[in-house]
Structure 1
Amino acid sequence: MSTSLNQRLFNAADALRSKMDASEYKDYLLGLVFYKYLSDQLLQTVVEQAGESLKDYDTLEKQEELYRAFLKDESSKDDLIQTLKDVISYDIEPDYLFHHLAKQAKQGTFQLNALHKGFIYLTTNFEQFEGLFDDIDLTSRKLGQDDQQRNITITEVIKQLDEIDVLSHDGDVVGDAYEYLISEFASSAGKKAGEFYTPKMVSKMMARIVTLGEEDRKIFSVYDAAMGSGSLMLNVKDYIKDTRNIKYHGQELNTTTYNLARMNLILHGVDDENMNLNNGDTLNKDWPTDEPYVFDSVLMNPPYSAKWSSDDSFMEDSRFMRYGRLAPKSKADFAFLLHGFYHLKDTGTMAIVLPHGILFRGGAEGAIRQKLLEDGSIYAVIGMPSNLFFGTSIPTTVVILKKNRTDRDVLFIDASNDFEKERNQNKLTEKHLDKIIEAYTDRDFKDKYSYLASFDEIKENEFNLNIPRYVDTFEEEEPVDMDHVGAEIKEIREEQKQLQKELYDTISELTYSKEDEDWIKGALEVFKYED
């Protein structure tokens, strides 16, 4: 599919890699790719709205000439701009188009200020782009010590990107290529990557689970209260047949990452009316509070064991009040879980990634876990392999929650040993994913892999959900065949004896001087043998 597109996009960052680390230069490259996409999409739309053929206007140069011709004609200018706003919800002045800037870059006349003006034009004239390019600091000294050096750096990136046709692919290829870049940056950024990315196969597994039985829904909503780049909830579109009416709701604390999510959703073709994203603190202030505030699915991979205020006033908060205790200040894991669960519809499914400690830690967490189990809210617990997520090597668990269940049993799946090692990271494969989903849907005992525990069993275990208490993965060692071992020892001794004889005979046949006589006698004594 888009391997070459992926690699060429990533190679365009060569001019930036030597100047800053991945967590920084990703903002420049991803922002420029997004701006190129908007520019190229506009030019293609002009051709289509003009009733012309893309075969005739098969280059950005020809498309830009057509655009300029329409804008010069006073009788068509206003109609074209209004049409662009109606069809793609924005327009860009021709002098700010990415391709035009790239032409200037190749001619040595490009100026950073022109790119900056293009950003300003979009962000000030169209609400959906407000603040979107704020993290692309074109005055940063990391791009160069002076304006000329900074100009040269961005010029090289623009020239590389201009050679790439981001619109000549079917489906979500450009969006998937964008996610490829995000994953590559996550791999390079190490610990910082956890702020914005959930590994693809984990996202797919969680999306498959929350959409089971919902594939034919005409309208389907998904919510992620710690959305990062938005990649986790975007996976839902692969399992809902009518993707036009998926409603994406997400919140992110980090402004840079929030903007990344907005770009990611737009590149995946999500219309503005299907996107409800917020830049805010999920735990300290509930969001959303207006309709809709409950959703068909909740997907979350929040920061593990983060700190939060845990102020007593939260005991009056409808998200937490019915559980009697608050998550401790040093570990917000259950605060995130309860927040997400509060925003789940009665008929919905929630999947959340958390550290294993939430399964067995006591105190306030133990009390919250017990209440969830007594209510039948915890539907399944899936143990994941260690070293699966960027930024942490600890094993994690995916907890599945549902509301208004008639049963209180819990399915345990131990998938901790199913992975492939790749570079410094463990990876899941489609085969591993299918195995998890099969166990999840079958919901019964599979030797050394899954177990359906009754509420009484869980109660006997004092509401401890540590997976080894329920899924026995102990592998017995094969019994030792002592007759076989004895025969092997005998054979080894015979081989040793034969070697000693050969060495003794070889040394005996050596010709040696008087001064070596004592050494030879000593060697013969060492290798002396009995028939």
Structure 2
Amino acid sequence: MSTDEKSLEQVLWDSANVMRQTMGAADYMNYALGLIFYKHLSDKTLEAAANALVDAGEVEAQDVATEEARQGVYKKYYDAEEFHEDLLETMNMDYEIKPDFTFAALMDSIRKQTFQLENLNQAFRDIEQSNPDLLGHLFDDVDLYSTKLGSTPQKRNDMIAQVMTALAPLNLDSHSGDVLGDAYEYLIGTFASDMGQKAGEFYTPQSVSQLLTHIVTWGQEAKKGFSAYDPACGAGGFLVATVKYWNQQNVEFTKNNLYGVDKDGYLTRLAKVHLACMGQSTKTIQCSDSLVWDENVLGKKDSQYDVVLTNPPFGVNIQAGTPETLSKFDLAYKYKKMKDGSSIKTDNINESVAPQVVFMEQCVKLVKAGGKIGIVVPESMISNKKYSYVVEFILKQCYIRVIIGMPDELFKTSGKGGTHTKTCLLVLEKKKFEDNKDYKIFMAEAKWCGHDSRGREIPKDDIPDILDKYFKFLKKEKFDDSNLGFVLNKNQIVNNVLAPRSYVFGIQNNKDLEKTHTMITIGQLINEKVLEVKTGNEVGKLAYGTGSIPFVRTSDISNWEIKSDPKHLLNEEIYKSLATKQDVQEGDILMVKDGSYLIGTCAMITKHDTKIVYQSHLYKIRVAKNNKLKLQVQIEHL
């Protein structure tokens, strides 16, 4: 790496090292991103001026080969009254930066030790005022007069000069990706542990936004007035991915047809900066609550958009809305399970409803009939029986086109940052009218996503192979079924479970086994009374440590065995109160019945394990006596 040109990562690291001694990570991310955006606009200005003057025959290409030369030529012709108007018209920029306020000009003053913070502040204000609709308030988070930069004006001046010097070697022209998105992703990944919960909540990896955008928007390139919306846009990842995909297809995206809303003012401004880098209008990016939906701010709602792409906030600790807000959503009410397995809505609002559930309904409301939805959801929302009513809603309102299970590491940004929440990517098509026809669903289960559990980049990434198989599926080309792509009919969905990993094992193994075996599910064996299944009990934390009898939890089961040193022990009285009910016998199987990581993990009960109490998150499975298949448990003691 030359001293004159450094990678984005190295430049960001250098600039962060300048600031991190005096402020938190969230603050220096504001300064770093704001200054990178300013440099990006400035460099584009010099490049556009150089190209315009070369094309006009005023200068030769070799006369503008360096940044210093481009800066000199731009100032000369901008200041010349006879060239000024023609130059700006030919440059055809959406904003204007005066020659004295470009990044290159201020760097020259830094080297000459004449730099004044007020000049940078004036540059920011001029840029914003040159196109308020596109760039208004975009530098609000870059507070050049904050005492976090230094206790005196001179210290603040010196701090920003050092940061700009650290950023100066960055060649934005040589950076092949989305520079602002890559910078945001690097800063989140590197400093997430310093930034707190905010980083993990709002970060969507570019690989995910690009994958979903590609699938959802494919085939709509020629659609006149195509519109895309994100009701939880964060830093604008999905909206930027949409523009990038359109650019790759050599199709110009209508500037006012990208819509985004987020409650977080900082992230909304960052999304505007992000889109402005792509030359997009930011008028349709709003700081508001998309669940409340203030029509005075956001306009009409129902069935307005061709596609909706989003990664909504999810988690039990996030409030979805007030009772008044929740009352507008069917999925925000409590549901009652019927004997036939279906769910019916009650009149009681579920004030603790998970936000992702309400966002799912909002997305369906927003998209046009026949339109597509691409959404990131926790796997539990489409696999846990607690959310069975949500899956019923999805199946009633939409055709499920794609479900991709993602690895646990997807949202890990560092060792401490991010979350291990298991997620899935859903692609839905809103029905034009209700029907119950069967159809094919493309499913996949990714094991690798390009980074490990500490957020570090690795060479293993299943996403390209999944996308390749998906397009073979669309084109009706043959492909080998595997976890990276297989097809399931809608009528094969069992118990409203949509998680691909619930089906991938059968897809991979059933074809060969069906040649020699009769395939039967555990559910069928239970229904036919070949197997007996019971669940355990909870005893409460106060019971822990009161005796010597193991209380077996999901974490105590591994490799078909119960760990020999369970952490929680109960007294004899509690054991006797549950022993008859639990009836643990040698030959029984304990299986983890829910959760993200251990679900399906089993242990065989030996003669040494019968005096235990097992928790409610475990099934106890036993072969029934006198069953019709005449199955018996045979135990050999060594």
> Would you say 1:341 and 2:364 are equivalent positions?
yes
Equivalent position to 1:24, from 19, 27, 44 = 27
Q: Give 1:393's aligned residue.
A: 420
Q: Among all aligned residue pairs of Structure 1 and Structure 2, give the percentage whose two residues are the same amino acid.
A: 26
Change (3 A) 1:248 1:9: farther
Instruction: Give 1:112's aligned amino acid.
Output: L
The alpha-carbon deviation at position 35 of structure 1 amounts to 0.9
Considering only CA atoms, is the larger Rg found in Structure 1 or Structure 2? 1
Answer whether contact 1:445 1:452 (CA < 8 A) is retained: no
Q: Give 2:481's aligned residue.
A: 446
Change (3 A) 1:258 1:195: farther
Which structure dedicates a bigger proportion of its chain to strand? 2
CA–CA separation in structure 1 for the residues paired with 2:458 and 2:423: 13
The alpha-carbon deviation at position 414 of structure 1 amounts to 4.9
Answer whether contact 2:409 2:420 (CA < 8 A) is retained: yes
Answer whether contact 2:320 2:354 (CA < 8 A) is retained: yes
CA–CA separation in structure 2 for the residues paired with 1:115 and 1:435: 46
> Would you say 1:465 and 2:498 are equivalent positions?
yes
Secondary structure (helix, strand or coil) at the match of 1:379 reads strand
Q: Higher mean Cα deviation, 120-129 or 189-198? A: 189-198
Give the TM-score normalised by structure 2: 0.64
Deviation sequence 1:111-153 (CA, Å, 0-9, x none)? 2121112212222342122110010111222222222222111
Higher relative contact order (CA 8 A, sep 6+): 1
Change (3 A) 1:384 1:427: farther
Secondary structure (helix, strand or coil) at the match of 1:145 reads coil
Q: Give 1:185's aligned residue.
A: 187
> Would you say 1:272 and 2:281 are equivalent positions?
yes
> Would you say 1:111 and 2:119 are equivalent positions?
no
Secondary structure (helix, strand or coil) at the match of 1:398 reads strand
The 5 A counterparts of 1:44-193 are 44-50=47-53, 51=56, 52=58, 53-77=60-84, 80=87, 83=89, 87-127=92-132, 128-167=134-173, 169=174, 173=175, 176-187=178-189, 188-190=191-193, 191-193=197-199
CA–CA separation in structure 2 for the residues paired with 1:180 and 1:254: 21
Equivalent position to 2:218, from 195, 199, 212 = 212
Q: Give 2:305's aligned residue.
A: 295
Answer whether contact 1:12 1:160 (CA < 8 A) is retained: yes
The 5 A counterparts of 1:419-430 are 419=449, 422=452, 424-425=454-455
The alpha-carbon deviation at position 78 of structure 1 amounts to 5.1
Q: Give 2:320's aligned residue.
A: 308
Change (3 A) 1:473 1:453: closer
The alpha-carbon deviation at position 262 of structure 1 amounts to 1.7
The 5 A counterparts of 1:437-516 are 437-438=467-468, 440=470, 442=473, 446=481, 452-458=487-493, 461=495, 463-467=496-500, 469-472=502-505
Q: Give 2:559's aligned residue.
A: none
CA–CA separation in structure 2 for the residues paired with 1:107 and 1:66: 20
CA–CA separation in structure 1 for the residues paired with 2:294 and 2:222: 31
- Structure 2 residue runs of 5 or longer lacking an equivalent are 334-343, 413-417, 510-638
Answer whether contact 1:413 1:439 (CA < 8 A) is retained: no
Equivalent position to 2:232, from 226, 229, 234 = 226
Q: Give 1:417's aligned residue.
A: 447
Change (3 A) 1:403 1:304: same
The alpha-carbon deviation at position 88 of structure 1 amounts to 0.7
Deviation sequence 1:400-457 (CA, Å, 0-9, x none)? 2112276355737351534565361387868512443355453899366666555555
The alpha-carbon deviation at position 467 of structure 1 amounts to 4.6
Change (3 A) 1:243 1:250: farther
The alpha-carbon deviation at position 221 of structure 1 amounts to 3.0
The alpha-carbon deviation at position 384 of structure 1 amounts to 1.2
The alpha-carbon deviation at position 174 of structure 1 amounts to 6.3
Q: Give 2:250's aligned residue.
A: 242
The alpha-carbon deviation at position 272 of structure 1 amounts to 2.7
Change (3 A) 1:270 1:338: farther
Q: Give 1:33's aligned residue.
A: 36
CA–CA separation in structure 1 for the residues paired with 2:264 and 2:135: 17
CA–CA separation in structure 2 for the residues paired with 1:281 and 1:4: 40
Secondary structure (helix, strand or coil) at the match of 1:244 reads coil
Q: Higher mean Cα deviation, 105-114 or 224-233? A: 224-233
The alpha-carbon deviation at position 192 of structure 1 amounts to 2.8
Give the TM-score normalised by structure 1: 0.76
Deviation sequence 1:61-113 (CA, Å, 0-9, x none)? 333333333454444445555x27x8112222333222121111111121212
The alpha-carbon deviation at position 185 of structure 1 amounts to 0.8
Answer whether contact 2:303 2:365 (CA < 8 A) is retained: no
Q: Higher mean Cα deviation, 106-115 or 304-313? A: 304-313
Secondary structure (helix, strand or coil) at the match of 2:373 reads strand
Deviation sequence 1:202-222 (CA, Å, 0-9, x none)? 222212221333355566432
CA–CA separation in structure 2 for the residues paired with 1:65 and 1:221: 42
- Structure 1 residue runs of 5 or longer lacking an equivalent are 477-531
CA–CA separation in structure 1 for the residues paired with 2:236 and 2:210: 13
Deviation sequence 1:248-275 (CA, Å, 0-9, x none)? 22222222212222222222x33338x7
Equivalent position to 1:402, from 429, 446, 452 = 429
Instruction: Give 1:284's aligned amino acid.
Output: V
The alpha-carbon deviation at position 280 of structure 1 amounts to 1.5
Answer whether contact 1:224 1:250 (CA < 8 A) is retained: yes
CA–CA separation in structure 2 for the residues paired with 1:78 and 1:117: 22
The alpha-carbon deviation at position 290 of structure 1 amounts to 4.5
The alpha-carbon deviation at position 301 of structure 1 amounts to 0.9
The 5 A counterparts of 1:346-357 are 346-357=369-380
